[in-house]
Amino acid sequence: MSELRWNPLLCEWVATATQRQERTFLPPADYCPLCPTVPGGFPTEIPEPTYDIAVLENRFPTLLAEPPAPAVESSDLYPVRPSRGVCEVVLYAPRHASSLAQEPVEQIYKLVQVWTDRFRELGALEFVEYVFIFENKGEAIGVTLHHPHGQIYAYPFVPPRIERELECCLGHLERTARCLICDILGEERRDGRRIVAENGSFAAFIPFFARWPYEVHIVASRHLQALTDLTAAEQRDLASILKSLLVAYDRLFDKSFPYMMVMHQRPTRPGSYEHYHFHIEFYPPLRRADRLKYLAGSETGAGLFINDTLPEERAAELRERISPAVWVSRSVP
C-alpha cells in the first residue's frame, strides 16, 4: 500500500509506504542481499559471482513506475495521488566491508559516471520531475544494510527543499543579477576560514549558515546545473574532492563516519533553471565522537536549527585531516 497524501498545512506531499515495514533489517554479513551470490551460497539480489557498480530497483520502494491505486479517496481538502516514481539502489562496490571513503578514487570516478547516467535516464521519464541522488550512511542515520550503497529517488514533483532553494536563487538573481550559489562560493573563498578542500573544479566548505556541526557543501566552481553538465576533467575532480572529504570525515573520530549525502541538481521537468547551481550537501549527525545531534523541538517543530558549534572551528578540524586523493590509474574509462 502506498500513495501520496497532500498536507494542506505545509502545502507538501507525504508518502505512505507501508510495505517498507517488511524490509530487511541489519542482516548478518553472510546473508547480505547486496553481496554477489557465491556459488552454492545464499542467493542474493545479484545472481552474479561479482560486479563492479550495480544499480537495482529498490525492493521496498516508496515510489513505483506502476503504482497501485491509492487506498483512500481524494477530497478537496485532502488530495491523494498514486505514488508514481522510481526508487533505485546503487551498489558502490562488491566489497561488503568497504565504504565510499575506503574505495579508491578511480571507483568513485566510475560512480560519478553511473550517477550521471541515472540522472539522464530517469530524468527523461515523462512522469519524473526531479531526480534525487543520496546516501544514508551508518546506523545513526537508520541504515538497515551495511553494504556500501546509495539510493536514487525519481519524484513526480519537485520536492519542497529544492523548490525553496530555487525560489531563493531566483530572488537573488532578480535583486542582484547574479547567481546566489556563485556568490556563496565567492564569499566562502574570500573569507577562507570555512574552506575544507579545493581543487580545479570544486570547493568543499562548511557554510557560514551550517545547521549541522560537520555539514559540508561541495560546490562546482563553474556555474552549472547538473552532473550532466560536467566535463570529464570535472567528473575526475568531483571524485577527488569526494575521496578527500570522506577520508577526512573518517579520520575525525577514527571511525567510519555517519552522514546523509544529498545531491542538489536542477529539476528534470521542462523549464529554465539557469539560476540554479549544482552542489552536494553532507549532513553528519555527530557533534562529537560519541554524541549525536538530534532534531528536537526547535528544529522539527519550528524549523529553527540550533548549531552549538562554530563552523569556522569545525572546518579547521576537517581541513587538518584533508589529504589529496591519489590516482593510481588516470586511464579509467
Residues forming the active site: 149
Mark the segment that binds Zn ion (CB under 5 A) among 12-20, 186-194, 207-215, 270-278.
Answer: 270-278
Instruction: Evaluate whether 159 touches 130 at the Cβ level (below 8 Å).
Output: yes
Mark the segment that binds Zn ion (CB under 5 A) among 17-25, 34-42, 48-56, 251-259.
Answer: 34-42
Collapsing DSSP states into helix, strand and coil, what is residue 21? Answer: helix
Residue 96 near Zn ion by CB under 5 A: yes
Instruction: Evaluate whether 275 touches 164 at the Cβ level (below 8 Å).
Output: no
- Contacts with Zn ion in 296-325 (CB under 5 A)? none
CB nearer Zn ion, residue 181 or residue 210: 181
Residue 216 near Zn ion by CB under 5 A: no
CB nearer Zn ion, residue 2 or residue 225: 225
| Biggest CA pair distance of the chain | 65
Per-residue cell: 223: 556555474
Measuring CA to CA, how many Å separate 309 from each of 29, 75, 195, 209, 292?
37, 46, 16, 11, 13
Q: Which amino acid is at 260?
A: M
Task: List strand residue ranges (DSSP E) for 232-272, in order.
Answer: 259-264
Mark the segment that binds Zn ion (CB under 5 A) among 80-88, 205-213, 223-231, 244-252.
Answer: 223-231
Beta pairing class for 216-220 and 202-205: antiparallel
Q: How many residues bind Zn ion (CB under 5 A)?
A: 11
* Interatomic CA distance for residues 147 and 35, integer angstroms: 7
Per-residue cell: 325: 586523493
Residue 32 near Zn ion by CB under 5 A: yes
Side by side, which strands form the sheet with 195-198? 54-57, 86-91, 149-155, 130-137, 259-264, 279-283, 216-220, 202-205, 195-198
Of 81, 189, 223, 287, the one binding Zn ion (CB under 5 A) is: 223
Residue 179 near Zn ion by CB under 5 A: yes
Least CB distance to Zn ion at residue 65 (A): 26
Of 35, 122, 152, 261, the one binding Zn ion (CB under 5 A) is: 35
* Interatomic CA distance for residues 72 and 81, integer angstroms: 10
Least CB distance to Zn ion at residue 147 (A): 3
**DSSP letter string over 100-152?**
TTTS-HHHHHHHHHHHHHHHHHHHTSTT-SEEEEEEEESGGGT-S--SSEEEE
Of 4, 34, 261, 322, the one binding Zn ion (CB under 5 A) is: 34
Residue 172 near Zn ion by CB under 5 A: no
Collapsing DSSP states into helix, strand and coil, what is residue 44? Answer: coil
CB nearer Zn ion, residue 122 or residue 166: 166
CB nearer Zn ion, residue 137 or residue 277: 277
Mark the segment that binds Zn ion (CB under 5 A) among 18-26, 198-206, 277-285, 290-298.
Answer: 277-285
Instruction: Evaluate whether 91 touches 149 at the Cβ level (below 8 Å).
Output: yes
* Interatomic CA distance for residues 151 and 308, integer angstroms: 30
Map residues 54-93 to x or -, x wherever contact with Zn ion holds by CB under 5 A: ----------------------------------------
Of 118, 147, 293, 314, the one binding Zn ion (CB under 5 A) is: 147
Least CB distance to Zn ion at residue 232 (A): 21
Of 141, 158, 170, 182, the one binding Zn ion (CB under 5 A) is: 182
Residue 194 near Zn ion by CB under 5 A: no
Mark the segment that binds Zn ion (CB under 5 A) among 222-230, 250-258, 266-274, 299-307.
Answer: 222-230
Q: Which amino acid is at 52?
A: D
Residue 277 near Zn ion by CB under 5 A: yes
Interface residues toward Zn ion, by CB under 5 A = 32, 34-35, 96, 147, 179, 181-182, 223, 264, 277
